[in-house]
Structure 1
Amino acid sequence: MKTIKIAGVPEHFNLPWHLAIEEGAFEERGIDLEWTDVPEGTGKMCNMLREGTTDIAIILTEGIVKDIVGGNPSKIVQVFVQSPLYWGIHVGAQSNHKTLNDLKNTTTAISRYGSGSHLMAYVNANNNGWDHNDLKFEVVNNINGAVDALTNGTADYFMWEHFTTKPLVDKGIFRRISDCPTPWPCFVIAVREEVLNKNASLISHILEVINTYTEDFKDIPSIDRMLANRYEQKVEDIQEWLSITRWSQENISPIMIKNIQEQLALLNIIDHSVSYNEIVQNVTL
């Protein structure tokens, strides 16, 4: 049995991984897939890949592209979720901010630098014609830290996945002002190059298994209720989320990598681009 470490956010997108692990699908291939929940998100997972404390990360596309350009010795081996991520733009329930324009020149809570919440603040600023140089950040580590920051006023708004954050909106802790969808597929599967070089066949087996699960995921009986129960969501919210979410069994295209790097450069998030083959590796299935 070969142990492979994998990390991802504790969100509904990753239920196919948990079902495959619980049902022994990886063990049947001789793989002990050790899952670690990372509530801090993409910035933390980039560090874990760099440090070797995880072998695989289910990670936001823009975050890992930025970090690979910055020297992270990992490669994207497949898109995991093809559809965009809908980032809710949230303020504290008692906040005086009512519109997007009210948030100009205020402080945004981010899980950490290099995270999706950090990078998408730039995308949102660009969408609204704000000067990127005016953006201010407060590092809060995770969603609980964001609750504290927006409640006590050390930050003004927080961008996090719409449906994950909706229970806080329903409880009257956050108020959602708007949504900001990613202009690219939201989650990819990234693997450390050292692992790819030594265990490419194992990574191929892992992709084969997870692709089997994601292809049929929406057809699992009562999957909406299972997701709602596991992730403490309303069934109607999960049904809406399922209707707009598309998993992928393909790798990311060269044109998409080019477009992402161009957008990150436009936002001054990266200062140079690298070739497709420096970011992506195709694993033979």
Structure 2
Amino acid sequence: MVATALTLVTALSGCSLLGGSDEESEPQSGGNGKLETTTLNISIMKTTDLAPFHLAMQEGFFEDEGLEVKFVDAPSGGESVNKLISGEADISYSSYTPFFLAESRKAGQAKGGVKIVADAASAGPNSCMVVALPNSSVKTVQDMAGKRVAVTATGTISDLLTMSTLKTKGVDYKSIQWVKTPFPATADALKAGNVDAAFVTEPFLSQTQTVAGALPIFDTATGPTADMPVAGWGSTGDFVKKNPNTIAAFQRAMQKGTDLALSDRTLVEPLLVKFSGVDENIAKVATLLTFQSKLDATRIQRVPDLMKDFAVITEELDVSKMIVPTAPLT
């Protein structure tokens, strides 16, 4: 909910879920005008912060907007953004870093660049943690210098949040030995002694504690990185320009799904089990990311700024030029 940082590398079925009637062949009103297209191809992943999307599907919010949603699976945030750039997806879910990496490298320039159409999640307290086993040499944040630390990949929310926290605490973050480890393999990497500590989010925070006996060492979403935006939904400039009413309909459906998810956690837990591969017991206790939907340029600007601070990108990006204003609910 994070980058590749928040991805479970397991495939969905590649099936589609219909949000509109099979009898509807012509674009129709999404509330603020005639839809330019009623079918959306969306790239998603098995992350816990996609619960609002699945809730919107379940409750018929996309159908209410006249949309038929077909989703395709991506194994990582980077691959999800690649599907967007290649035209395989009209809208993609990803942690924010791949969107900004693509924009900084002008990967989508031929299609009008990358646009952010909806927020998804931010890092709430105790949702993005560094953990270690009881026999590890890492007992506190001050022990991290020079250690082997599991992250999904470098240049992602995983290592950025960790480095920012270490820098704030006066720890030499440049000495860290980053070990690329998919979240599902983190518990095994800890037990095998391949890493001294690991960055994890839910459900893997609970999984590493249950399976490997890991202990939380420090929260990476505090101080300068408190409530850091971690994931969102993107499209291309060309698609947004050609389909403004369709994008607005998507935004309204996602806002309704997000509002409902925030209002009743018991609606979210079964979706974590069904779509994110989360054990039922873990779903009940997992510390979830903070669901978001409405876009705030100032808040999301923190992500590319952090990426530039740690040389993941070399130029400044103006998020306000990438954001598609959130359509009001009707």
Task: Output the TM-score relative to the length of structure 1.
Answer: 0.80
Deviations 1:19-56 (A, max 9, x none): 22234432444433223454x54344333333444332
Secondary structure at the counterpart of residue 229 of structure 2? coil
| Inter-partner Cα distance in structure 1 for 2:77 and 2:133 | 23
| Inter-partner Cα distance in structure 1 for 2:252 and 2:103 | 24
**RMSD of equivalent CA atoms:** 3.1
The answer to whether structure 1 residue 59 and structure 2 residue 94 are counterparts is: yes
Change (3 A) 1:225 1:84: closer
CA contact (8 A) 1:26 1:209 kept: yes
Secondary structure at the counterpart of residue 16 of structure 1? helix
CA contact (8 A) 2:166 2:172 kept: yes
| TM superposition shift of 1:247 | 3.4
Structure 1 letter corresponding to 2:253: V
CA contact (8 A) 2:261 2:268 kept: no
Secondary structure at the counterpart of residue 316 of structure 2? coil
| Inter-partner Cα distance in structure 1 for 2:198 and 2:80 | 20
Task: Output the TM-score relative to the length of structure 2.
Answer: 0.71
Structure 2 letter corresponding to 1:79: D
Please name the residue that 1:75 is paired with.
115
The answer to whether structure 1 residue 185 and structure 2 residue 210 are counterparts is: no
Most deviating of 226-235 and 4-13: 226-235
CA contact (8 A) 2:187 2:207 kept: no
CA contact (8 A) 2:78 2:94 kept: no
Change (3 A) 1:116 1:42: farther
Note the residue ranges of structure 1 that are not aligned, 5 or more in a row: none
Match of 1:213 among 257, 260, 270: 257
| TM superposition shift of 1:191 | 1.6
CA contact (8 A) 1:65 1:279 kept: no
CA contact (8 A) 1:84 1:185 kept: no
CA contact (8 A) 2:51 2:272 kept: no
Change (3 A) 1:139 1:29: same
Secondary structure at the counterpart of residue 128 of structure 2? strand
Structure 2 letter corresponding to 1:34: K
Number of aligned residue pairs: 278
CA contact (8 A) 1:26 1:32 kept: yes
Most deviating of 68-77 and 226-235: 226-235
The answer to whether structure 1 residue 10 and structure 2 residue 54 are counterparts is: no
Note the residue ranges of structure 2 that are not aligned, 5 or more in a row: 1-24, 26-37, 109-113
Structure 1 letter corresponding to 2:306: Q
Most deviating of 51-60 and 225-234: 225-234
The answer to whether structure 1 residue 167 and structure 2 residue 207 are counterparts is: yes
| TM superposition shift of 1:228 | 6.6
| Inter-partner Cα distance in structure 2 for 1:7 and 1:120 | 25
Work out the percentage of aligned pairs sharing the same amino acid: 17
Match of 1:273 among 311, 316, 325: 316
The answer to whether structure 1 residue 156 and structure 2 residue 211 are counterparts is: no
Deviations 1:169-189 (A, max 9, x none): 123353322221144233322
Please name the residue that 1:198 is paired with.
242
| Inter-partner Cα distance in structure 1 for 2:67 and 2:262 | 25
CA contact (8 A) 2:295 2:326 kept: no
Matches within 5 A, 1:1-285: 2-38=38-74, 40-73=75-108, 74-81=114-121, 84=124, 86-92=127-133, 94-140=135-181, 142-181=182-221, 182-183=225-226, 184-220=228-264, 222-223=266-267, 226=270, 229-230=273-274, 231-232=278-279, 233-234=281-282, 237-238=285-286, 241=288, 246-253=290-297, 255-282=298-325, 284-285=327-328
| TM superposition shift of 1:257 | 4.5
